[in-house]
Structure 1
Amino acid sequence: MKKKECPSCAMNIDAASKTCPICQYEFPVQSKWLQWTAILLAALFLYFMLFR
């Protein structure tokens, strides 16, 4: 089972948890399309910088 560390209290909790059971920290939800859009923009930027 995957674990992640709470940035507030440093406890290792289940990676699927949306909140920390110890300190109630709410993990931000990242949308997949936003992550892929950022990767695509970074790749396009590098492409144009290298091959312009």
Structure 2
Amino acid sequence: MTDPNAERDVEQADGFMNRIAKGGPVAAIAIVLVVVLLTGWLVGFLR
């Protein structure tokens, strides 16, 4: 039995990655910023 919800999630993830690829530099910069902020917050949180 395949879970239709899981398949839909995979499709959404693919669409998300495609959008990032089409978005080009702006999307890449936005993602890098989010990752940096998250890691900074986590490091501060763990201290």
TM-score range, shorter chain: 0.3 to 0.5
Between structures 1 and 2, the one with greater strand share: 1
Higher relative contact order (CA 8 A, sep 6+): 1
Q: Give TM-score, length-normalised by structure 1.
A: 0.44
Between structures 1 and 2, the one with greater helix share: 2
Q: Give TM-score, length-normalised by structure 2.
A: 0.48
Structure number with bigger Rg:
1
